[in-house]
Amino acid sequence: MKPLVVVIRKGQKVAQLPKGKTISLSSIATLDIELTIKTFKPVRSASQNRLAWKWAGFIGDKMGIDKSSAFSEFKEKHLAPILCAEDSELANDYAIFKAQMFDYQSEQIYKRLIDGLFSSSSCKTSQMAAALTAWELAWTNEAASTYGHLPRPEDYHFALQLESYEQEASR
């Protein structure tokens, strides 16, 4: 849909749209108002990041760890396999990294290196959706009976790229 611009003039409540349609305000405009009407396209990656950090906070609270540690675990256990499956060079670098870090004593340094190697901001939305789905499945299978299911915010289906809300009913 091409953006449509309409003006509601001061002292008016209604503007004429194409094809005999109108748009109206709930009260009379106290100044000229210009409205741009266009198709709404929310940013999927923002929804995915909100969901990932919401789940990291939830898991962190339940497991007694900070949410950044829970997010690092998500990246290592769920995002890394997806990114490595699509990038053989990254998979090779990660295998070397893991072999060299096997005896490493500092967990903090290890987590920082994982965070640098697997950035959620540089992955595709489909990769992040797959990683979030894997995280939810793992939590459901391993911990949900003890700690409860992961929260599902209003934009849950959008973040996971589910085709429709009807898919929820078939789960």
Question: pLDDT confidence of 168, banded at 50, 70, 90?
Answer: very low
Flag whether pLDDT at 62 surpasses 60.
Answer: yes
**Of residues 152 and 164, more confidently modeled:** 152
Flag whether pLDDT at 59 surpasses 70.
Answer: yes
Q: What would the mean pLDDT of 76-97 be, rounded to a whole number?
A: 91
- The predicted pLDDT at position 80 comes to 93
- Range 78-83 contact pairs with CB under 8 angstroms and sequence separation of 24 or more: 78/131, 78/132, 78/134, 78/135, 78/138, 79/118, 79/120, 79/123, 79/127, 79/128, 79/131, 80/114, 80/117, 80/118, 81/134, 82/123, 82/127, 82/130, 82/131, 82/134, 83/118, 83/123, 83/127
Taking all residues of the chain, what is their mean pLDDT, rounded to a whole number?
86
Domain boundaries, the chain: 4-37, 44-169
